[in-house]
Structure 1
Amino acid sequence: MTGIEDFTKPYGLVDKIDAFGYLDYLKSNPDAPRKHGKVVLVTADTPLKASRGEGKTTTTIAMIDALRERGIDAAAVLRQPSMGITAAGSKGGASGGGKASLTHPELIDWGLCGEMGAIEAAQNLLVSFAEKAIDEGKLDTVLVPRVSEVPSRSLRSTIVDAGKNNVAERVVLTPTCELMQIVVLSRSMDELAERVGNMTAGTKDGKGVKFNEFVDLWRITNILTDAVKPARTETVNGSPVYVHGGPFANVSLGIPTLASVEMATALHDVVIVEAGYGADAGAQKWLDIACREFGAQWPSAAIVVTRATTWRDDPDLQWRYPFHVERLENLGIPTFPLINLWEGEDELVDGLKATANELGFRTPIIGNLYRDGGEALAPQLDGFAEAVSVEDIPATPESHRGTPLRDNLNWVSEHAYGVPAERVVEKAGFEASLAEAQELCESVGMNLDDLALVAVKSPATMTDNDALPVQERTVTLKKVEPHTGAGVVHVNLTTSLTTPMPKIV
């Protein structure tokens, strides 16, 4: 009988799974054995510093180990981290740590599952085609940026000598690029090829030109043959983990590929999905982009991770953690606060529980997961297991497609950041950027308001200044950039960079 192993091949020390092929097999064979697993979203408090993680991956790994210890068939789907930032040591790796770690963390942290390099090569080839189109008079400008896994300040803005006219170009990190978004959102090679063809290469006489007008797309899809296949690995305790898709939820999607999550739900009863940075970033994008706009499964439960120091040490920012938990609860998602203790913090447990009780939280899950792994969590998961065991899978809320972009921005600002419409302000030049984006979309036969909104923001702040009193917090709209192939539109809010630099640590 055909099963997942028929779509799996070794790839070095991990396996690669043809998720597209497996999902197509299930669609064509409705009686084939499969599960209908529940999705649980792991997100976090907004970190005090962009370079400091709260422990989402460590929590995700410890959670599946703990659930499997309780006899529940659980698996995790993680994002493939960016070598240039994560593995260079600016923050923790994306493979957990201590007793809550993967068997081959170096493969994950350094991008050796292959998709980062392949996506980088494929998008850079597209840019090369666009540059050649300049030479041939098919384009006047190049809009799609080159990408690199190794960041460099010198690459944020460049001028390329194109003979008679110099051409402005730029370079972004691989996870933030449009081709990564296309891989994350696509569920078949045909869909992926169509999306690549719909990418806007540049402009000619002020009108957008898509790649399908002058490029044979097989050149790109061939490069991505292995990049679209999730890697299968496991925790040090033998729990299954799938790794696929891009990080950086502040400047891109920051979620695993939809195909990898859909595949995992066909194989396991509970699938824990990790989303990037805080609930204002990765969770917002899983719910409002993956679920609302692209049909991913709405979570049956959520876990909001924080370090004890993030939650309690800055009085001006203490509002953020309760805001995240309450927001998810208000969406009908049973939400469990999880506090990831560091060494020497065990004596804080009673005080943390008391504070959680005062805030009206569900009973918090607390443990030093690096030291104790899933063993710390298994005895605390009665309420969580009960919430996830509810039979019905929650329905995905309706799409915002067609909502005017400005209205959509007001909605996200209010619901994800706690800033009402009257305090959403526009920086000089925003209106011109919005009009230019609308014109570009119209010139390639698209409606800007049909694109899913990707808020591009600082990972460490929810508003322009989170330390202000609630009635004074604002969100400033700065720039609009449509990604017509991915079907999303970027809007810059607070300070953020698509080519951030690693810290020396």
Structure 2
Amino acid sequence: MPTDIEIARQATLKPITEVAAKAGVPDEALIPYGKYKAKVDRDALPPASAPGKLILVTAINPTPAGEGKTTTSVGLSDALHRIGKKTLLCLREPSLGPCFGVKGGGAGGGKSQVMPMDEINLHFTGDFHAITSAHNLLSAMIDNHIYWGNSLEIDLRRVTWRRVLDMNDRALRQIVGPLGGVSNGFPRETGFDITVASEIMAILCLASDLDDLQKRLGDIIIGYRRDKSPVFCRDIKADPAMTVLLKDAIQPNLVQTLENNPAFLHGGPFANIAHGCNSVIATKTALVMADYVVTEAGFGADLGAEKFMDIKCRMAGLKPDAIVLVATVRSLKMNGGVPKSELTNGENVEAVRAGAVNLKRHIENVKKFGITPTIAINHFYLDTDAEIAVIKEMAEEFGAEAVICKHWADGGAGAEELAHIVAAKADAGAPDFAPLYPDDMPLADKIETVCREIYRAGSVTISSAVRKQLKQWEEMGYGKFPVCMAKTQYSFSTDPTKLGAPEDHEVTIREVRLSAGAGFVVAIAGDIMTMPGLPKVPSAEAIHLDENGQIEGLF
């Protein structure tokens, strides 16, 4: 089987104008970025029709064996087209950091990819660069304000706004700057986060339009005075210029799948350190253009799906009509105790059965939102009939239907059975859908609810200092905000080595951050880093141009 980038290179793409026409985007609403990608001017679109059905794709906890959530989203979208359903795919844009790290890109794989794969995984339409620039413009204006007299009386010890870079770089997590003497400013401790963890990214993905974007930017708290009163971005007078930098980035990006079906790729917050969903603008635009919209939420359902429903749906007035939960034989084997090095050693039905506790936990969790998921078994060529059968059996025992999907090898044709099942469920809707907790629950209780109900923690440790901070934010009027949990994606616990379905573990909330512009409170648990590092052998070592100037090694 050729590599993902080899498959992508062999694809016959259609001009983006033809893809746009298929999606119902008129010429006057299309802003081309070359031959095969474009932005869509929402203000130039035809009047909205009745909204379509929203289908969420999520997954079990990720493992190094791979689950293929994005691949399944693409395959399902193509399959819905094949069975005659007008569909739009809505995904996040990939971050450069994982592309050069260990995870790779985020454009799907095999015969279920979005195109042009290399451009999507690299600079794409420049959205992430715009977000990085807007974020760091605010950083520069904060230090500039302090340098020129600090009329806002910002306490240098309480500047909370850091800088960002769209790259994995552990050396920048904690730094001291500015150094070099009086002419460079006042030294203080600061640091960098990865761009996808920026509050600007979250704001772009949750804003409803440019006016809402600027308001949210102005609401960002950049730090505090000595009396602990907040200083806002609007006090620095940075929000108008930041909006200018983001005026194009806020428009959805239109591309195509390998089967030439339309897809929006817009926004890209990580799900382990942010809310893990594509933009509200892209999703809502797609819902008025198509009968079915397939979207995904990052990492496992304990992170991405929970945040999709408790943050994105709550803020945007959305609800999923159907949910797909992706699982693989390989990842269930790992959850059942099989090391990655032994996954190719042949059939192991008992390991699949043992690892299915992870699948069961996710099914139970999704049901807490009022929806029973459909299990998509993402097929690998080494999977045996007996191993597939045990997943179907276990899913049925847990109250869900499972279907084998071969979209990686066969494209949309390999997911038609899933498409028929999911379309029927979406048509029926989800009348019992509800978020996990109400708006008026105290912030600490919201955190504990997620930890106990979704992670199955036996105890939740929130220090008195953190509780005091949460109480202060409630007194400032932020008590109705949802919580955005930042923790490892590999386990229900905060220990990435605890696979399967750990129970009665302890979750310690070591830090909380107020994202006043985005509209949520981030609760950081365990050793999660908001600036990832590169592995010992990063993927960047294998990425290069061949003798013909074509990219190799990207996946």
TM-score by length of 1: 0.89
Query: What is the aligned partner in structure 1 of residue 266 from structure 2?
Result: 244
More deviation in 311-320 or 321-330? 311-320
SS across alignment from 2:326: strand
Instruction: Tell me if structure 2 keeps the 8 A contact 1:178–1:483.
Output: yes
Q: Distance in 2 between matches of 1:291 and 1:201?
A: 27
Of 161, 175, 184, 1:158 maps to 175
In the alignment, is the contact (CA less than 8 A) between 2:396 and 2:402 conserved in 1?
no
Over 3 Å counting, the alpha-carbon distance change for 1:34 and 1:358 in structure 2 is closer
> In structure 2, do the counterparts of structure 1 residues 490 and 398 end up closer, same or farther at CA, with 3 Å as the change threshold?
closer
Post-superposition Cα deviations, 1:234-292, rounded to whole Å, max 9, x if no partner, equal 11111110000114101001100011100000000110111100001110100011112
Deviation for aligned residue 1:108: 1.4
1:324 aligns with 2:362: yes
Amino acid at match of 1:308: V
Contact kept? 2:437, 2:449, Cα under 8 Å: no
1:119 matched to which residue of 2? 131
Residue 72 (structure 1) aligned with residue 85 (structure 2): yes
Match of 2:75 in 1: 62
Equivalent residue for 2:313?
A: 291
Correspondence list, 1:265-280, <5 A: 265-280=287-302
In terms of mean alpha carbon deviation, does 157-166 or 493-502 score higher? 157-166
468, 475, 490: which is aligned to 1:435? Answer: 468
User: Deviation of residue 374 (structure 1)?
Assistant: 1.4
Determine the structure 2 residue equivalent to 1:498.
530
- 1:331-387, CA deviations, whole angstroms, 9 ceiling, x for partnerless residues? 322311111122322445543355335523433121333211211111344332221
Instruction: Say whether 1:388 aligns with 2:426.
Output: yes
Matched, 1:133 2:106: no
Q: What does residue 508 of structure 2 align with? A: 476
Q: Residues 356-395 of structure 1 correspond to what in structure 2 (within 5 A)? A: 356=394, 359-390=397-428
SS at match of 2:457: coil
Aligned partners of 2:336 and 2:500 also within 8 Å:
no
Once residues 111 and 393 of structure 1 are traced to their aligned partners in structure 2, the CA distance between those partners, rounded to angstroms, is 41
Opposite residue 171 of structure 1, the aligned amino acid is F
Q: What is the aligned partner in structure 1 of residue 7 from structure 2?
A: none
Distance in 1, Cα, partners of 2:470 & 2:191: 18
Structure 1 residues 66 and 3: CA distance shift in structure 2, 3 A: closer
User: 2:392, 2:402 within 8 Å by CA — same for their partners in 1?
Assistant: no
| SS of residue in 2 equivalent to 1:324 | helix
Are residues 1:187 and 2:217 paired? no
Distance 1:396 1:362, change over 3 A: closer
Read off the aligned partner of 1:72 and give its amino acid letter. Answer: K
- Superposition deviation, residue 150 in structure 1: 1.8
What is the aligned partner in structure 2 of residue 300 from structure 1?
A: 321
Answer yes or no: is the 8 Å Cα contact 2:327–2:377 preserved in 1: yes
- Which residue matches 1:312? 333
Partner amino acid, structure 2, of 1:483: S
Could you tell me how far apart the structure 2 residues matched to 1:229 and 1:69 are?
Answer: 28
- Partner of residue 29, structure 1: none
SS for the counterpart of 2:479 is: helix
| SS of residue paired to 2:488 | coil
Change (3 A) 1:216 1:382: closer
Partner Cα separation in structure 1 for residue 52 and residue 312 of structure 2: 17
Any gaps of 5 or more consecutive residues in structure 1? 27-31
Partner of 2:3: none
Contact 1:143 1:201 (8 Å CA) reproduced? yes
More deviation, 152-161/467-476: 467-476
User: What is the one-letter code of the residue matched to 1:425?
Assistant: T
Say yes or no: does 1:351 pair with 2:389.
yes
Q: 1:6 aligns with which of 28, 45, 62?
A: 28
Q: How many residues are treated as equivalent by the alignment?
A: 484
Q: How much identity, in percent, do the aligned residues show? A: 27
Are 2:489 and 1:459 aligned? yes
- Tell me, in whole angstroms, the C-alpha distance in 2 between the residues paired with 1:314 and 1:208: 45
Is the Cα–Cα contact under 8 Å of residues 143 and 202 in structure 1 kept in the other structure? yes
Measured in 2, the distance between the counterparts of 1:249 and 1:68 equals 28
**C-alpha distance in 2, partners of 1:33/1:256?**
20
CA distance, structure 2, for counterparts of residue 150 and residue 288 of structure 1: 28
- For residues 33 and 260 of structure 1, what CA distance do their matches in structure 2 show? 14
The answer on whether the counterparts of 1:207 and 1:440 sit within 8 Å (CA) in structure 2 is no
1:16-74 deviations in Å (ceiling 9; x for gaps): 0123x35xx77xxxxx352410111001101134xx64101100110011111101111
Indicate if the aligned counterparts of 1:62 and 1:377 stay in contact, CA closer than 8 A.
yes
**CA gap 1:152/1:230 in 2 versus in 1, 3 angstroms:** same
* Structure 2 counterpart of 1:39, from 49, 54, 70: 54
The alignment partner of 1:412 has SS state of helix
SS in structure 2 at match of 1:252: coil
Pick the aligned partner of 1:146 from 163, 167, 184. 163
1:486 aligns with 2:486: no
- How far residue 3 of structure 1 moved from its aligned partner, in angstroms, is 6.2
Contact 1:300 1:334 in 2 (8 A): no
**In structure 1, distance between residues paired with 2:490 and 2:133:** 30
Deviation at 1:403, TM superposition (A): 1.6
Of 256, 277, 282, 1:255 maps to 277
1:403-424 CA distance string (max 9 Å, x none): 211111121112221235xx21
How is 1:75-86 mapped onto 2 (pairs within 5 angstroms)? 75-85=88-98
Which residue identity lines up with residue 156 of structure 1 in the other structure? R
Q: Report if aligned partners of 1:148, 1:173 keep a CA contact under 8 Å in 2.
A: yes
Q: Is the 8 A contact 1:76 1:240 kept in 2?
A: yes
Q: Relative to 1, partners in 2 of residues 1:111 and 1:339: Cα closer, same or farther, differing over 3 Å? A: farther
Contact 1:82 1:111 in 2 (8 A): no
Deviation larger for 59-68 or 203-212: 203-212
Cα distance in 1 for partners of 2:500, 2:379 equals: 28
Tell me: CA distance 1:183–1:468, structure 2 relative to 1, closer, same or farther (3 Å). Answer: closer
Q: Does 1:178 align with 2:208?
A: no
Q: 2:440 aligns with which of 399, 402, 405?
A: 402
- 2:170 counterpart letter in structure 1: R
Q: Could you tell me how far apart the structure 2 residues matched to 1:468 and 1:69 are?
A: 36
CA distance in 1, matches of 2:201, 2:446: 24
Change (3 A) 1:380 1:193: closer
8 Å CA contact 2:371, 2:430 repeated in 1: no
SS at match of 2:187: strand
